[in-house]
Chain A
Amino acid sequence: MATVTPTDAVSSDSAFVDIDTVGLTYGRGPSRTQALNGTTIRVRKGGFAAVVGPSGCGKSSLMKLVTGLLPPTRGSVRVDGQTVNGPLKIVGMAFQNPTLLPWRTTLRNVMLPLEIVQPHRGRLRRNYDTYVEDARSLLRSVGLDGFEGRHPWELSGGMQQRASLCRALIHRPDLLMLDEPFAALDAFTREELWGVLQALWMARGFTVILVTHDLREAAYLAEEIHVMSARPGRIVATRQVPMPFPRSLEDTFKPDFVELVHELRDHISRERQA
């Protein structure tokens, strides 16, 4: 595995994802809520950015903006040089809830995006065996070989989340959006999946934006961590994570790592009081 070294702050033109002074307001009149205000985040191609913040700071709104599910009220979102104004097909998503379909086997759950995204959709029937082989090797890479024919309810929470990751990646998206994907798992499973995600990222080179409230998770996985303020959310601090990849769980106990997590925690608690 190649080692990836974190880059310096990403400039506007080289950014793969460019969220530029974005504001987002829900509703009208007295029930108006401002979810985001002047948020700016840039992520390089193939980069791994984490967004942390107090709960209810508009992290999930950010996900919807980048994937084109919601238009921003102010500012602009650009992905791969194009302004986002509708659903992006080059995105894979995974959430805290694995949202697998209970009537499909694991393999067919993973293959769901292929039935929707072009050009795979048109090719699926003719090249079915190749695609099945693709899905199987993806499942193998997250340690789910032998479970292809099982239904989601026969899998543990961690296994369901692995399958959900596979579903987000099967159509080879350039951008992976993760909304607290490991929040519902126990600590051991969570740490195991950090390793799985890091290996996938290093092997496939997609860009990741990870929304999380777990600071150790952010520091373990990301090149760059953005701290959001309480609602309306904006970025109050951005920290590079200088440790080289691949990182191991051992690294998370080293002094500079602990110090980084500590500093992030300070930022968050200040935001919570504000």
Chain B
Amino acid sequence: MSKDQSTAAIDDEPETRAASWASRLENAGPWLIGLATLVIWEAACRLLEVPRFVLPAPSAIWDSFWTWRGVIGMHAMQTLYTTVVGFAFAVVGGVLLGIGVGTSKALYKSLYPLLIGFNSVPKVAIVPILVIWFGIGTVPAVISAFLLSFFPIVVNVATGLATLEPELRDVLRSLGASRRDILLKVGLPRSLPYLFAALKVAITLALVGSVIAETIGSNAGIGYLMLMASGRFDVPLVFAGLFVVAIMGVAIYAMFAKLEARLTGWATRDVVYATGS
């Protein structure tokens, strides 16, 4: 190292360069780790000569996906459809019930134990009942997506409303604000970050709910496809189905994360500082 370079090191420029490198590495992290996993997986399958029906290599999974892309696409759309519909009902119902539970002490006391009990019931056990009631197909999948994603939304909205600072409530009440005013001006905006935290968890749970229902009682959807494929020992196709579910989950999650950043940037402001704006 020359003398010039060593004096330049006193300047903070190399440090910021290192920082920008670190942040770039952070952003690329998921991709790098994912890619590394696939490479190791592929290598292990080839070197150890693992049979396809035990653990197919990523390349075999990709082949299977490409061969069956039309069928997979059709089933994926069905799964996406039941997930989104069930999730939409859960958001509407969850927000309404969350507002009720979060603003009324009586409702909180009388409903919370029931909600906990309801959430402790394994949803897999409910699907056969749903099938008896509504028959095989879309409806049980929608309902089970709803049932799985409903609870976190209720709890988080209620928490957001219940943790309102008492001083702030006093300021508004002393001005003659009605309960509705307080809810609209302060309660709901304040619980938006809680709602989004719940939505990100809930959407992946909704996907799980749909796939569970499809494996138990359906004739369409990724869950059904995986069940059929495993029946034929077409393990690469089962894995292709798994990957499709995972990718759908990540995609919807990312959508909500974007929306969250736009609507509740004020709640995650330290991130804004970190990027230097």
Contact = CB atoms under 8 A, between A and B. Distances in A.
Interface of A: 64, 67-69, 87-89, 91, 93, 95, 97, 99, 101-103, 112-113, 115-118, 151, 153, 167-168, 171, 177
11 contacts: A87-B173, A93-B171, A97-B167, A99-B167, A101-B190, A112-B185, A113-B175, A116-B176, A116-B177, A117-B176, A151-B269
A89 to B, nearest CB: 5
A116 B186 CA distance: 12
A97 B167 CA distance: 8
A138 B189 CA distance: 26
A91 to B, nearest CB: 5
Given A87-B176, A112-B185, A117-B175, 13 more contacts: A67-B170, A67-B174, A87-B173, A87-B174, A95-B167, A97-B167, A99-B168, A99-B171, A103-B264, A103-B266, A118-B176, A153-B266, A153-B269
A111 B181 CA distance: 14
B165 interface: yes
Interface of B: 165, 167-168, 170-177, 181, 185-186, 189-190, 192, 264, 266-267, 269
Nearest to B182: A116
Contacts of A118: 176
Contacts of A168: 171
Contacts of B174: 67-69, 87-88, 91, 93, 177
B189 A87 contact: no
User: Which of B171, B175, B186, B190: most chain A CB closer than 10 A?
Assistant: B175
Nearest to B263: A103
Contacts of B177: 116
Contacts of B173: 69, 87
Contacts of B176: 87-89, 116-118
A103 B175 contact: no
Closest 5 CB pairs of A and B: A67-B174, A99-B168, A103-B266, A102-B266, A95-B167
A69 B170 contact: yes
Contact of A102 (B172, B181, B267): B267
A171 B170 CA distance: 16
Contacts of A113: 175
Contact of A87 (B165, B175, B192, B264): B175
User: Which of A68, A95, A99, A113: most chain B CB closer than 10 A?
Assistant: A99
A192 B120 CA distance: 57
Given A103-B266, A113-B175, A116-B177, A64 B170 contact: yes
A88 B173 CA distance: 9
